[in-house]
Amino acid sequence: MKCISVDDNPMALTALRQMIEQVDDLELIGEFTDAMEAFNFMQEEKVDLLFLDVEMPTISGLELIDNLKDPPLIIVVTAKKEYALEAFEKHVVDYLLKPVNMTRFLSAVNFARKIYESRQAKLESADTLFIKADGKWVKLRYSEIKYLQAMGDYVRFFTENGRYMVNKTMKMIMSSLPAEKFVRVHRSYIVNIDQIDNIEENMIIIGKDVIPISERYKTPFMQQLNLL
């Protein structure tokens, strides 16, 4: 997990760094004595875990949380007990009181890791599709699917890593695909918008493959691409 620490006390940052360095899957990518600097950093860089003090000069740690639209997992590290309730109301993972010992630190990190891994699993599940081809279940990422072609009672998947024949109708397959990524352009073809290289009149170019666009599907296809 990529993490940063925010504390106006440099000695506290040093103590945190020493503990973070003992955990293999923690990567410290930033240390800040000013909460606004940390805020600006998080607008540009992906942060998975934030170690955060509360009382700081420019804005407090709790105010920083309020200003983050998509906050990372947060472990508060402070010498003050009185902010605990407010911090947990803001859905922090844990609340550590200084001085922090390694056992307590690891407990908080382990809890954060479980939440992180659960979220990652959900994200991966939301971005994948299982199809049954050649007698086995194959997991495909939506991003690797180029296009699909109807072939009678079957649909052939053309992907970056190969082709797969599935005993399903186009209608059944279409209902399983995210509408914002996949669009039907012909009675026999569904394309992944992100895989399109060029559009030439009534043809879509994906790599070396040419997919026809029928008149029936052309207008909704163009509208989805904001080409009208």
119-161 pLDDT tens trace: 887 776 678 889 998 889 999 999 999 999 999 889 999 999 9
Residue type, 52: L
Categorize the per-residue pLDDT at 78 as very low, low, confident or very high, splitting at 50, 70 and 90. Answer: very high
Going from the N-terminus, what domains does the chain have, and what CATH number goes with each?
A: 2-124 (3.40.50.2300), 128-224 (2.40.50.1020)
Q: What separation in angstroms does the CA of 59 have from each of 38, 72, 147, 203?
A: 11, 18, 50, 55
Question: pTM (2 decimals)?
Answer: 0.63
102-121 pLDDT tens trace: 999 999 999 999 999 988 87
Give pairs for 44-47: CB < 8 Å, separation 24+.
Answer: 45/2, 46/2, 47/2, 47/3, 47/4, 47/72
| 202 pLDDT more than 60 | yes
Give me the pLDDT at residue 224, please: 84
Q: In sequence order, what are the residues at sequence separation of 6 or more whose Cβ sits closer than 8 angstroms to the Cβ of residue 151?
A: 165, 188
Give me the pLDDT at residue 56, please: 95
Q: Which two tokens stand for residue 160?
A: 């970056």
Nearest to 4 by CA among 22, 24, 39, 23: 39
56-73 pLDDT tens trace: 998 999 999 999 999 999
Average pLDDT over residues 202-210: 95
| 175 pLDDT more than 90 | no
What region does 207 belong to: left with phi over 0, alpha with psi -120 to 50, or beta?
A: left
Query: Three-class SS of residue 47?
Result: coil
Categorize the per-residue pLDDT at 17 as very low, low, confident or very high, splitting at 50, 70 and 90. Answer: very high
Q: What separation in angstroms does the CA of 106 have from each of 21, 45, 48, 119?
A: 12, 25, 16, 20
Percentage of residues in the chain having pLDDT higher than 70? 98
**% helix / strand / coil in the chain, to the nearest 5?**
35, 35, 30
* Type and span of the H or E element at 62: helix 61-67
